[in-house]
Amino acid sequence: MNVYDSERMADILAPVGYEITEGPDDADLVILNTCHIREKAAEKVYSDLGRLRLIKDGREGTMLLAVAGCVAQAEGEEILSRAPYVDMIFGPQTYHRLPEMVARAHRQAGTVLDTDFPPESKFDHLPAPSAGGRTSAFLTIQEGCDKFCTFCVVPYTRGSEFSRPVAQVMDDARGLAVGGIREITLLGQNVNNYHGAAADGEWSMGRLAAELAGIEGIQRIRYTTSYPADVDEELIAAHRDVPELMPYLHLPVQSGSDKVLSAMNRRHSADDYRRLVDQLRAARPDLALSSDFIVGFPGETDRDFQDTMDLVAEIEFVGAYSFKYSPRPGTPAAAMGGQVDKTEKKNRLAALQDLLNAQQRAFNESCVGRTMAVLLDGPGRHPGQLLGRSPYMQAVHVDAPARMSGEVVDLKIETAHPNSLAAVLAADERVVA
Ligand code: SAH
């Protein structure tokens, strides 16, 4: 979502004369768009700021420096005191006010701080997103979260749940399709709890996905990130009935232990998750799953961790993000007893990642010999090569003419690497055979 937000910041600054530069050295305005989800991401802001300050000092007052995003939202005052040379600090819900903030920053001496949760929606004030010559685009349909998982800062930094109206989403999607976008990834912190206002009531994400699939040019739809307890019948049905909805689902489970899931306030058990996966796989048998995991949540024992390993072994994921629990200021889990030792967290993470990596490799290897529809979206590593994405989000390299870029093409997978696949055009393959 930060990638999407950054693009929208560029969109709203374009009419007042800004364009993207290659790097910070010749920029008139540098915006650090930040993430607060784990301590490591948040701390990086201050080291990056130190580096940018040197560039700013050499520019004799011709460069503005801004901190945007969730660190700005959560730690605005701290940034002010640790880095008073920053010109603007603003959160994820106020960047539609950027032109006005820039004007103020030029006028006034001190830092412009805007970390409101404004009553108006920024989406009502942003220009229509542009395709920008690409084939795949993000589209935010939902923002914020009301779940209050005990480890998570999102409800405090992004604010409460908000769904964009259906008509606004459809307009953006049509515009992107006309601009050449073939694949849309719907975004939200809790995307499948989408309930967008429409003329005939509220639409779920399943219904929205089916409607988006009808837009001329849109060949692929994805969504992220979903919350297991909010997967409803309509969404499961969409996986069965809407071929444009890709057979790949990021469905964070966090832990395989009921005790830990309950302490996390996840509102589902490990067996609920297993049953949900069964229903989804029944609807779409070729569905591949990825997930998020946290190891070393307060109170997690060896037995609890083993429950996570067992769940992973059983479900078989094709990819995953896994993290050591990171206590976040202001969240309930940060104050819980039973914080897990650093070395223990490290060892558990290594064991979990070994298993997840082995599953990813096994899945990639199982693709060899198969023909897959791949969206070719740009140049590959070598001349004459294109890079694309399989339905399962695997990177696929193929020797193919540049004119095929932007098309969905059948490729025969020849080789599997840990993080990518190599393929030949299925049409060529038939000629050779
Ligand atoms: N609503 C989103 C949250 C995005 S954060 C979602 O459910 O995916 C992405 C992942 O970061 C989470 O799924 C979780 O696995 C991890 N995460 C969030 N807070 C964390 C924390 N305090 N420590 C470690 N990992 C965390």
pLDDT in tens, 190-219: 999 999 999 999 999 999 999 999 999 999
Q: Is the CB of 154 under 6 A from ligand 1?
A: yes
Sign for the pseudo-dihedral over CA of 264, 268, 269, 275: negative
**In terms of Cα–Cα distance, which of 58, 48, 51 is closest to 26?**
58
Pocket test for ligand 1, best of 253, 294, 297 (most atoms within 8 A of CB): 294
Is 141:185 a contact under the CB 8 Å cutoff?
Answer: no
Report CA(220)–ligand 1 centroid distance (Å): 26
pLDDT in tens, 154-167: 999 999 999 999 99
Q: Is the CB of 67 under 6 A from ligand 1?
A: no
**In terms of Cα–Cα distance, which of 313, 290, 165, 311 is closest to 226?**
290
Report CA(184)–ligand 1 centroid distance (Å): 23
Would you give the DSSP letter of residue 245?
B
- Phi, psi values for residue 81, rounded to 5°: -85, -35
Q: Which residues contact 411 (CB under 8 A, 6 or more apart)?
A: 371, 372, 373, 374, 388, 396, 398, 423, 424, 425, 426
Nearest protein CA to atom 2 of ligand 1, as residue:
189
Q: Is the CB of 281 under 6 A from ligand 1?
A: no
Q: Is the CB of 105 under 6 A from ligand 1?
A: no
Pocket test for ligand 1, best of 142, 223, 292, 353 (most atoms within 8 A of CB): 292
Give the per-residue pLDDT at 431. 54
Write down all domains in the chain, each with its CATH number in brackets.
2-114 (3.40.50.12160), 122-366 (3.80.30.20), 371-432 (2.40.50.140)
Q: Tokens 């996390």 identify what position?
A: 264
Pocket test for ligand 1, best of 4, 36, 37 (most atoms within 8 A of CB): 37
Q: Is the CB of 294 under 6 A from ligand 1?
A: yes
Is 301:258 a contact under the CB 8 Å cutoff?
Answer: no
Of all atoms in ligand 1, which is nearest to the CA of residue 250? 8
Give the per-residue pLDDT at 133. 86
Report CA(161)–ligand 1 centroid distance (Å): 16
Query: Which amino acid is located at 354 in the chain?
Result: D
pLDDT in tens, 219-258: 999 999 999 999 999 999 999 999 999 999 999 999 999 9
The per-residue pLDDT of the chain, averaged, comes to 96
pLDDT in tens, 248-306: 999 999 999 999 999 999 999 999 999 999 999 999 999 999 999 999 999 999 999 99
How many beta carbons lie within 10 A of that of residue 427, not counting itself?
Answer: 12
Q: Is the CB of 258 under 6 A from ligand 1?
A: no
Would you give the DSSP letter of residue 340?
P
Q: pLDDT over 90 for what percent of the chain?
A: 94
Give the per-residue pLDDT at 132. 86
Report CA(37)–ligand 1 centroid distance (Å): 6
Helix and strand counts by DSSP (H, E) for the chain: 13, 19
Alpha helices in 284-387 (DSSP H): 302-315, 342-366
Report CA(328)–ligand 1 centroid distance (Å): 11
Q: Is the CB of 191 under 6 A from ligand 1?
A: no
Of all atoms in ligand 1, which is nearest to the CA of residue 154? 3
Peptide bond into 225 cis (omega under 30): yes
Is 194:204 a contact under the CB 8 Å cutoff?
Answer: yes
Q: Record the tokens describing residue 273, joined without a space.
A: 């998750």
Give the per-residue pLDDT at 229. 97
Sign for the pseudo-dihedral over CA of 201, 207, 211, 217: positive
Cα distance between residue 83 and residue 111, in whole Å = 10
How many beta carbons lie within 10 A of that of residue 126, not counting itself?
Answer: 16
Q: Cα angle vertex 75, ends 69, 77, to 5°?
A: 120
Report CA(223)–ligand 1 centroid distance (Å): 16
Q: Is the CB of 323 under 6 A from ligand 1?
A: yes
Report CA(251)–ligand 1 centroid distance (Å): 12
Q: How far is CA 288 from CA 140, 364, 393, in A?
A: 23, 11, 10
Pocket test for ligand 1, best of 150, 151, 152, 308 (most atoms within 8 A of CB): 152
Q: Region 356-375: what's the mean pLDDT?
A: 97
Q: Region 354-364: what's the mean pLDDT?
A: 97
119 alpha-carbon distance from chain centroid: 25
